[in-house]
Structure 1
């Protein structure tokens, strides 16, 4: 997602354009990978020294709720990245070193559902973690 389309999406949902939100989005666009919330805080404090962790975290969750960012948990810590351009239902391989992702267009739920007969699955999240070719 591009910066202007992300800001437009926020505006159409009734949220104001702030310099902090814009900078957070720029960071994700520049890096195209999962980034820890703490790292975002450090990067944004270079431009906005007084910004608090709570402000950054609230904005990260807002951007996730608005489906501009995606989130996952790596090493016990919440990580975020710009929403994926891949359309339709898919999953990701996530590099545990650099945070880069690769889309997986196969869904294992088809096989798993066979083992869950009688269960009502409402949703699922499937991610594969490891080292990408550049980090191996």
Structure 2
């Protein structure tokens, strides 16, 4: 079975209707380099489906994020969100404060059971997202870095 079919089956098991728009958004996420914006996804999709609107892309990305099919990554210092399919193990992201690139931290350093013990009964943890901000190797090597966070 293909990766697309695996994702569609996962959506079906969660009770989600598979619309043509959702299918092409997933196909575009599979095709593009990692971490496209909603506008980049929309532009890619419009090459074969010119009628799709940016609102439709945003609305479906929101649903796919809420269902755990897509990860939303918030880039620091920008009003930009980028997206990736939530494939494989749960993981987090490293985001460069200088160039804005995001890369995967291939494991999760967060122990939700320990966090749940800390917050006790006042809050039920059902998931988490962690984005780490700093400087990539290329930007760290530059001598004219912006002032680092303190």
Aligned to 2:62: 61
Q: Call closer, same or farther: CA 1:130–1:37 in 2, change over 3 Å.
A: farther
The number of residues matched between the two structures is: 131
**Which of the pair has more CA radius of gyration?**
2
**CA-CA distance at 1:47 after TM superposition:** 1.1
Aligned to 1:101: 104
* Structure 2 residue corresponding to 1:127, chosen from 127, 131, 148: 131
Structure 1 unaligned residues grouped into runs of 5+: none
Corresponding position: 1:80 with 2:87: no
> Aligned with 2:68: secondary structure?
coil
Bigger relative CO (Cα 8 Å, ≥ 6 apart): 1
Corresponding position: 1:16 with 2:15: no
Q: Call closer, same or farther: CA 1:133–1:25 in 2, change over 3 Å.
A: farther
Q: Call closer, same or farther: CA 1:32–1:103 in 2, change over 3 Å.
A: farther
Partners of 1:121 and 1:127 in 2: CA distance: 22
Q: Is the 8 A contact 1:94 1:129 kept in 2?
A: yes
In the superposition, the TM-score normalised over structure 2's length comes to 0.66
Q: Call closer, same or farther: CA 1:14–1:133 in 2, change over 3 Å.
A: same
Structure 2 unaligned residues grouped into runs of 5+: 141-150
